[in-house]
Structure formats: C-alpha cells, structure tokens
Amino acid sequence: MILKQLANSWLIVPVAILAGSVVLGIILRNVVIPYLAKLAARTKWKFDDVVISSVRSSVILWAIVLGLYLIVQTQGLPRNIAAASSRALGVLLIFSVTVVVANIGTQIIEYYKSVITGLASATSLLKNIIRATVYSIGILVILDDLHISIAPLLTALGVGGLAIGLGLQETLSNFFSGLQILAARHIQTGNYIRLSSGEEGFVEDLNWRATIIRTLSGNHVIVPNKNLAGLIVTNYEQPSPDISISVDLGVDYSSDLDKVEEVTIDVAREIQKTVQGAKGDFDPFIRYNEFGDSSINFSVILRGNTFVDQYLIKHEFIKKLKERYDKEGINIPFPIRTIYMNDGKAND
C-alpha cells in the first residue's frame, strides 16, 4: 500500500506537467493563434499569415515536447536516461520545426505565384527545391545535435554524388534544363504553346523532370525538360496573348469587289464587337491577294484575345458572312475546271 501511494505521488507531478502542456497547446492553437491570425489579416504583408497558418498545426506538439522536457529535467531520472530522452525530444523538435519551415516556404511560393511574374510556371519545381534544401539542412542539424560528425558524411556524399550524377545524367539533365527554362521565362504556366514536334496546348505544370501540356481535348502531354529545351517553341501568350485571325475566302469573278469589301468588313466589325473573345476595339480589314481558278481570293483579318478564341470567332464569322452574302447576292463559287475535248481532227 505504501509503495502504491509512493508510486501514485511520484506520478502526480509528471501527469500534471503533461496535462498542463496539452492544455497550453490547445489554448495556443484555438485562442492565441486565431487572434494573431486576425491581426495578421489586417496587414498588407502576407508573410505573417503564412507563418501563423503553418505554425498552428504544430503548436500542440511543441507544447507536449516542452512538457516532456520539463518532466525529464525535474523528476530525477538517471543521467543516461535523462540525456537520451532530452536528445530524442530535441530531434523531434528539430524535425517538427523543419517540417514547418518547409511548409512556410512552399506556401509562400503558392501564395505569390500569381503576383510575381514568371513564378507561376516555377511553382512545382521551386517547391521541390525548397523542400529538398530545408530537409537537408534539418537532417544535418539533427546529426550535429546527436554529436555525429558530418564532415565524413559530406565527403562521402561528395564522392557518392559524383557516382550518382553519372548514373542519373538523364534526370539531372531534365532538372537543369527545367531551371534554364524557368530562368529564361519564355514559357510560363497557363501559356498556350506549340512545339516543333507538333504537340500543342496549355502549359499546366513545370516540375523537376518534365513540362506537362494540356491539349484542347483535355489530354496531358508530358515533355521531358531536356527535350523541351531543344525544341522550337511557339508561345502564343508572349509578348502579347492577342492573336490575328486570318479567314481565307473567294468570290465570283462577276462580283463587285467594292461591295464585297464593304459587306465583309461590316460583318467582321459586328463579330469583333459581339462575339466573346474578340477584341472589340480592333478594326478588321480585307486584302485581295489572288486570281484563283474560279474565284478572286482574299483574306479577312480579325483579332482575338487569346489563341483559343479564334475558333469561336471563325465559327460565328463564317455563319454570319454566308447569311449576309446570300442576302446581298454575292456568290462564293464552287471550284470550276474547263476541259476541252479533242474529237481527233487535226485542226482541233
């Protein structure tokens, strides 16, 4: 009975410390952190919002680690057990802080990707670089805390890195090609591009290995960064997303060309002002360019806001123009070929 009472009395303090640390963590997470978040929301600087959001998930863990550390230091444990426990708690604390710092870095990239020019296309790759860098530093700090010399490790990593580099030439080539693409800023997330190999679509992501292109049909085309860096790329979003739209037409040789021009421009102007995706302030024009086999050919130049807007603009323009030509009596001829038949007479 006396031993049981002694055991119970010995447990009172550790249990009280641990319970107090848990309560402290809950108060910090549910009361203090939300209050700080409200204060941070009032500032124009967004870094504090990101820090508070990332710290909130680890507050209770840190409070428990603090409680366990107090228990180890105050309960008179054997020196070797106390030292091992303190070291284990230190490793846990360093690892949790490493995770939080990595989350802060990735959230900052995610938050500012739409603000900083060129950052959106670098999001995935930069996140991976930040995670790798922060976790590497965290591991080195943990090893130093455990009194493990990192000098031989760094030497081994240098030699091993050379061997790994030789074995991962393809991967490293894609990685550094991705960095080169990001640095040049010629391709960014959301751009509509066409490769000289024939693939085209929206750039959806640029990661450490490949660039992901989403085609208009919704499929993904995955292009290794090394290959992309060696291709000729047409970017329809740079330096401006506007696009000229050329529609080739032809009218009968008997047509009044002035009237054809007047009617065509009238329809084109209507399309520019009413169709979604067309630039309302652009004045369309036509240019006659060829005496064809059965028609006088010309091109109508319109303008859209983006590359994909051309499809709807052409669709509506062709419908409206055909309807208007029918009303005005303007004929779009079928291809005609005249064939002269020889009946075998010498003078034919």
State which amino acid sits at residue 247.
V
Q: How many residues does the chain have?
A: 348
Q: What is the residue-wise DSSP string for 47-115?
A: HHHHHHHHHHTTHHHHHHHHHHHHHHHHTT--HHHHHHHHHHHHHHHHHHHHHHHHHHHHHHHHHHTTT
Nearest CA to 304 among 243, 253, 215? Answer: 243
Element (H, E) at 128: helix 123-145
Q: Just give the CATH number of 184-235.
A: 2.30.30.60
Answer whether 184-235 and 243-328 agree in fold: no
Distance (Å, whole) CA 18 – CA 15: 5
- State the DSSP code for 31: I
Q: Just give the CATH number of 243-328.
A: 3.30.70.100
pLDDT of residue 4: 47
Number of H helices, E strands in the chain: 11, 8
Give the 3-state secondary structure of residue 302.
strand
pLDDT of residue 321: 93
pLDDT of residue 97: 85
| pLDDT means over runs of 10, the chain (348 residues) | 47 76 82 80 74 80 80 75 78 84 79 56 68 82 75 62 57 76 78 88 83 88 86 86 91 91 94 91 92 91 91 94 92 75 60
What is the residue extent of each domain of the chain?
8-148, 184-235, 243-328
Distance (Å, whole) CA 136 – CA 119: 24
pTM of the model: 0.53
Distance (Å, whole) CA 155 – CA 262: 78
Sequence-separated (6 or more) residues with CB below 8 Å from residue 182: 118, 121, 122, 125, 126, 206
Radius of gyration of the chain (CA): 35
pLDDT of residue 5: 46
Distance (Å, whole) CA 282 – CA 42: 42
Distance (Å, whole) CA 182 – CA 53: 28
Phi-psi region of 118 (alpha: psi -120 to 50; beta: other; left: phi over 0): left
233, 245 in Cβ contact below 8 A? no
Distance (Å, whole) CA 271 – CA 125: 42
